Amino acid sequence: MEIIINESLIRRNARIGQITSIVGLLVLAGGMYISFARPELFNISLLALLLGFALSQIGIYFGNRFGRHPRPDESLDLALKGLDGRYTMYHYKTPASHLLVGPSGIWVLSPRSTRGLITYNESRRRFAQKGGNLYLKIFAQESLGRPDMEINGEIEGITRFLKQRMPEKELPEVQAALVFTNEATEVDADNAPLPTMHIKKLKEFIRKTAKGESLSPASLNEINAALSE
């Protein structure tokens, strides 16, 4: 499997995470100091605390994705290790953060480090998370959120991107999979509208998918050439 990765973006975003985390802690400390030393400046201390918290959350966001090892791209690469040379993995080089192109088709892969039991509530049409650490959900951004909305946005972005560069070609449907990377996560979401699995099952899933309708070598070359522009 060939891996194409935007190293400069990863380094830049990791640096952003480090700086904003440090600045956020300093601003929080300043707000706490003002609240005790100068209680008459309550509004300023409150503003500093809110700003510091916001900066720390930005730092955590960038740190989780670009500064912590294994990063999401590293987890995907390790899980898919062993796929043959017909596959190409794009990290942060296309409108989708993680895109796999190969005989099994065009796949947007959305990794999540969320802990606990992951299910899909059909009546509410959304994923649900049971268990996990409440502190990590609130302060470390390990809540599940709405991954389906983010994935749909990336599918639309890739589809539009390829149509602009290959207007005369009939393109295969862009597919997507929601992948959970945490060892402590259990996934029970076979009823979900998109494939949802633990990362340990990802390579087997991709290989099985390739046994159906697959992209020809010529189509793969054309798609990879368009993505590399």
Count Cβ atoms below 10 Å from residue 218 Cβ, excluding itself: 8
Distance between CA atoms of 39 and 45, rounded to whole angstroms?
8
Distance between CA atoms of 80 and 1, rounded to whole angstroms?
8
Q: Is the pLDDT of residue 33 over 80?
A: yes
- The whole-number pLDDT of residue 4 equals 97
Lowest mean pLDDT segment, chosen from 19-28, 138-147, 151-160, 199-208? 138-147
- The whole-number pLDDT of residue 62 equals 93
| Farthest CA pair distance, the chain | 71
SS3 call for 164: helix
Which residue, 192, 162, 145, is CA-closest to 96?
A: 162
Q: Is the pLDDT of residue 139 over 60?
A: no
Mean pLDDT of 211-225: 86
Task: Look up residue 88 and give its amino acid.
Answer: T
Whole-model pTM: value is: 0.89
Q: Is the pLDDT of residue 136 over 70?
A: no
- The whole-number pLDDT of residue 137 equals 53
The DSSP element (H or E) to which 163 belongs, if any, is: helix 147-165
Instruction: Count the helices and strands in the chain (H runs, E runs).
Output: 7, 9
- The whole-number pLDDT of residue 131 equals 80
Residues 39-98 have pLDDT tens digits of 899 999 999 999 999 999 999 999 989 998 999 999 999 999 999 999 999 999 999 999
- The whole-number pLDDT of residue 43 equals 94
**pLDDT interval class at 169 (50, 70, 90):** confident
Tokens for 216? 């020809």
SS3 call for 66: helix
**pLDDT interval class at 214 (50, 70, 90):** confident
Distance between CA atoms of 8 and 207, rounded to whole angstroms?
31
Specify whether the CB–CB gap between 222 and 172 falls below 8 A.
Answer: no
